[in-house]
Amino acid sequence: MDLSYKNGKKFIYFILCGFLINLVSGVNPGPQVIATKGAIWPKPQRQNISDSYFILKPGKFQFVLSDITKNCGILQSALDRYLKIIQQNEILTKDTLKYRKPHDKNKKSWHFREKFLGYLDQLTINLSQTCDDTKYPDLEMDEHYYLVINQTTFKLEAASFWGILRGLESFSQLLYLGDDLLSLRINQTEIVDFPRYKHRGLLIDTSRHFLPLNVIYKTLDAMSYNKMNVLHWHIVDDQSFPYVSIRFPELSNMKCKNYNGGAMLNKINCNFSNLGSFNPYTKTYTPEDINSIIEYGKVRGIRIIPEFDTPGHTRSWGVSHPELLTECQELDTFGPLDPTKAETYSFMNNLLAEVKVLFKDQFLHLGGDEVDFTCWMGSQNITEFMKKYNISSYFALESYYVQKIVDMTEKLKLNSIVWEEVFHNGVKLPQSTVVQVWKGDWKETIKNVTESGYQALLSSCWYLDNIQSGGDWTSFYNCDPSVFNGTENQQNLVLGGDACMWGEVVNEHNLISRVWPRASAPAEKLWSAKNKDPDLDEVARRLEEHTCRMNRRNIGAEPPNGPGYCD
């Protein structure tokens, strides 16, 4: 070997070593981001806060109901839930006390500090309207609240239960461990708060990977800690049909059905283990399961909106009902629902009527995205149908189908949500339809959607399955639904948006850590006042605290910013 080559390698080696030594020695000790103490996430609309503080002893603290607020079961369950959360904070002080040296235990000097205002033993809850335990959250629910903690008043006021709920979350977040590491403190504060947008959602996908009930419950818990109020449940898709239908139980339960002389076996890649669901006994959602999720969400102020995406994304439907799908004769497979068959619409009407009764929300997501026209193009029956009814393109054929489904939904007295392709294809939608925007050129699309008088939801910049190295929450935080060229009226037609966690590579084991605290970024953008130039360092400090707060509440949120620790 050439000696100069060997010497050259040594030189490069020493240069690299020196670079690494400098790099390592240049890293300062300690956390990368210093967390705030007692900062609320999402940030309130208006908050006056001072350095003066009260001490709260979790074992002695209680909520006190005003006369009009008593005998409200849904409120009492919320108070019990938040009292447990507050009492869990006592662990912080007890754990610290175990490791204090004897002389350190005399450092309760806050008794004598001028900023110490006394003890906070109770918070009065004043619900100004009559409590209705039977009411479910909806698009128009009132989430305003007023919270004041000062030397004369400790109270939380709201016109509705939903406002009380959001105020309780804020109150619980005001608590922090004092600098003596022994006291649980809450600063003197006054808050007037309400959401910027009505719809603050999270999409979960239970078709690509089944999510057990306990994981969905935990997701709803985390959503409530972030004041999100819509679970967009993408419940079925090509891969599986876990929804147990009352009218059509075979959708989730039946093995591949013989169809067209056995050709079905090849077309759906059927085998003896292939069912509509991954497993009809352990990987499905019964009506009882779904009702439990709806009720769990209700008491946390969260709407459950299901999505039954058609005419594409329906391969799992064909396991038990291949007659609904389009045969791809040349490709020896099946494609989207066949829009030319009367039985397709009869089936859909029966299914959607059932869904309306089971789910309590006034909205139903109809999907309508990513329809592959290949099988339609190869079908002689569809070609003849298009000629007969003067349908000039496959986009027009899709519009023909979607129009019928939207009309069907309207007759069921439900409002439709559709993906943006339905709007682009020129379907004549009722003005009550909401268009969900998910593609790249979202500013232009939202402008066009609202210009046409339709309400809009944004998801384009909040796809949580798109992962970047490091803490990527800033890319989500820097997206604002109002940043498009539209009039004030158009801005008012934007209802909010959904952060989307598609399930191709996410299951019960990594869903929570993949979603949180990344979804906290859109949660704040959809709740808090618009900020054209946010201080991302300040946001990072609050998110650091909020992530630790979620960890203490048994939400396995991943670190948002880099090296650090939680108390």
- Residue range 57-109, pLDDT digits in tens: 999 999 999 876 677 899 999 999 999 999 988 776 666 555 555 545 555 55
What percent of the chain has pLDDT above 70? 87
pLDDT band of 469, cuts 50, 70, 90: confident
Specify whether 504 is catalytic: no
pLDDT(272) > 50: no
What 3-state DSSP class applies to 321?
coil
Among the listed residues 370, 384, 444, 538, the single catalytic one is 370
Distance CA 280, CA 300 (A): 30
Average pLDDT, the chain: 90
CATH 3.30.379.10 intervals, the chain: 46-99+111-193
CATH superfamily of 46-99+111-193: Chitobiase/beta-hexosaminidase domain 2-like (3.30.379.10)
Neighbouring CB atoms inside 10 A of 264's CB total 20
**What pLDDT score does 108 carry?**
55
Residue 402 is classified by DSSP as: H
pLDDT(487) > 70: yes
Q: What are the tens digits of pLDDT across the range 301-352? A: 999 999 999 999 999 999 999 999 999 877 778 899 999 999 999 999 999 9
pLDDT(201) > 50: yes
Residue with tokens 């679970």: 231
Which stretches does DSSP call E strand in 78-151?
A: 116-119, 122-127, 145-149
Q: What integer is the mean pLDDT of 22-27?
A: 53
Distance CA 200, CA 228 (A): 5
Quote the Cα angle for 282-236-277, to 5°. Answer: 35
pLDDT band of 182, cuts 50, 70, 90: confident
CATH number, domain 207-260+272-502? 3.20.20.80
Burial of 412 (0-12, 13-18, 19+ CB in 10 A): middle
Q: What is the 3-state secondary structure (H, E, C) of 328-378?
A: ECCCCEEEEECCCCHHHHHHHHHHHHHHHHHCCCCEEEEECCCCCCHHHHC
Please indicate whether residue 92 or residue 134 has the higher confidence score (pLDDT): 134
pLDDT band of 293, cuts 50, 70, 90: very high
Joined together, the tokens standing for residue 437 give 């925007």
Beta bridge partners of 333: 328
**What pLDDT score does 28 carry?**
73
Neighbouring CB atoms inside 10 A of 540's CB total 21
Residue 313 φ/ψ, nearest 5 degrees: 60, 40
DSSP β-ladder status, 303-307 and 230-234: parallel
CATH 3.20.20.80 intervals, the chain: 207-260+272-502
Inter-CA distances, 261 with 178, 265, 316, 455, 496, Å = 75, 9, 20, 47, 50
pLDDT band of 421, cuts 50, 70, 90: very high
pLDDT(29) > 90: no
**What pLDDT score does 18 carry?**
46
